[in-house]
């Protein structure tokens, strides 16, 4: 579980831009301001994950590219609000809380909001992170569809603000960032009351429980007991939030746990078999095929890369 909290309203001396690339999705999750995320990879990565931040007056623009199909669940950190949108018309079958995200959707995540998302393809996205002090300026909504020309303007302002910041045109970039915040605020306040709200189970609390009991092999019946629901209701609510069945979610989660174990130089795992059986995979042939389909390599290749890195580290630091 990755956690990151905003440090408050960005200073108006910027905007300051920062672009980072990550090969590990967990590191990328920890770099998204205002969120508390857990990411599970659903397929092989297509390039690195990237996050670009732009700090301006009163808000922060974050833009990113997710390299893999993935599922994510978590909540918005305290003192933060996010308004998020896809940066291209090809959203890759992206869904949030079971709602399919169209090409011109604005999503609003408020303080403490719990959510889950799913995308089956790489995704380009952007979000404005507002401090809690500006909550009154944003209407209360979950998701709204914009006219095509409105979304085109929002995307254009986003790209221009980032381009100018990278070109060291800070004052002009700040103007475009302010225009972007104003445009997003206009559309959210105008259309918010027309958007229905969706209720569901406390996903964030459930994910916390899953994380705290990671060593256990949990099943749908266990999750139903945790959530205080009968199993049928859990399956229905879980699918609505995650866009994925509870059984598949648990399998994907265990696959990602094995990957983290094999990639961790501090792990005491000595073989792929040991890692697989520790996380409940006993049909090793099927496990290896699912692992390869999900991460684009054999589990033995992951472990070999970790061992090579450890040998190189010992050569560089012979004292230890």
To the nearest whole percent, how much of the chain has pLDDT over 70?
Answer: 85
In the chain the first and final C-alpha atoms are separated, in Å, by 30
What are the pLDDT digits (tens) for 220-265?
888 888 777 788 888 887 777 777 888 888 888 899 999 999 998 8
DSSP secondary structure of 207-239: HHHHHHTTTS---HHHHHHHHT--HHHHHHHHH
What values do phi and psi take at 238, rounded to 5? -65, -45
Residue 221 to residue 235: CA distance in whole angstroms: 10
Residues 42 and 253 sit within 8 Å (Cβ to Cβ): no
Residue 5 to residue 30: CA distance in whole angstroms: 10
Rg of the chain over CA atoms, in angstroms? Answer: 21
Residue 187 to residue 67: CA distance in whole angstroms: 29
pLDDT of res. 156? 94
Residue 281 to residue 233: CA distance in whole angstroms: 27
For the chain, 320 residues long, give each residue's pLDDT as a single digit of tens.
232 233 333 344 445 678 899 988 989 988 888 888 889 999 998 889 999 999 877 788 999 999 999 998 888 887 788 899 999 887 767 888 888 888 888 988 888 888 888 988 889 999 998 876 666 656 567 888 888 889 999 999 999 999 998 888 888 888 899 899 889 888 887 554 454 444 455 666 677 777 777 777 888 888 888 777 788 888 887 777 777 888 888 888 899 999 999 998 888 888 999 999 999 999 999 999 999 999 999 999 999 999 888 888 777 766 55
Instruction: Give the DSSP H/E element, type plus range, for residue 143.
Output: strand 143-145
Three-state SS across 162-186? HHHHHCCCHHHHHHHHHHHHHHHHH
């Amino acid at each position: 579980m990755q956690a990151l909290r905003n440090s408050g309203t960005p200073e108006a001396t910027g905007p300051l831009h920062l672009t980072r690339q990550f090969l590990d999705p967990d590191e990328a999750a920890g770099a998204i301001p205002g969120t508390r995320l857990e990411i599970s990879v659903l397929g092989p990565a297509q390039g690195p994950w990237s996050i670009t931040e732009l700090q301006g007056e009163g808000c922060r623009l974050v833009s990113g590219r997710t390299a893999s199909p993935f599922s994510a669940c978590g909540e918005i950190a305290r003192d933060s609000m996010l308004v998020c949108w896809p940066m291209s018309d090809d959203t890759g079958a992206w869904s949030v809380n079971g709602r399919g995200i169209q090409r011109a959707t604005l999503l609003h995540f408020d303080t403490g909001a719990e959510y889950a998302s799913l995308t089956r393809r790489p995704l380009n996205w952007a979000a404005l992170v507002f401090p809690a002090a500006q909550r009154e300026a944003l209407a209360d909504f979950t998701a709204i569809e914009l006219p095509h020309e409105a979304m085109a303007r929002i995307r254009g302002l986003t790209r221009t603000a980032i381009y100018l910041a990278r070109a060291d045109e800070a004052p002009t970039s700040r103007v475009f960032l302010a225009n972007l915040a104003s445009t997003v605020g206009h559309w959210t306040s105008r259309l918010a009351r027309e958007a229905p709200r969706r209720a569901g189970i406390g996903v964030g609390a459930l994910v916390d429980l899953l994380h705290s009991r990671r060593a256990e092999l949990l099943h749908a019946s266990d999750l139903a007991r945790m959530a205080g629901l009968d199993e049928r209701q859990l399956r229905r609510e879980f699918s609505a939030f995650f866009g994925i069945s509870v059984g598949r979610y648990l399998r994907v989660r265990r696959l990602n746990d094995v990957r983290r174990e094999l990639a961790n130089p501090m792990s005491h795992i000595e073989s792929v078999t040991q890692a697989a059986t520790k996380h409940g995979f006993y049909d090793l042939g099927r496990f290896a095929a699912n692992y390869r389909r999900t991460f684009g390599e054999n589990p033995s290749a992951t472990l070999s890369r970790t061992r090579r890195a450890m040998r190189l580290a010992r050569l560089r630091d012979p004292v230890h």
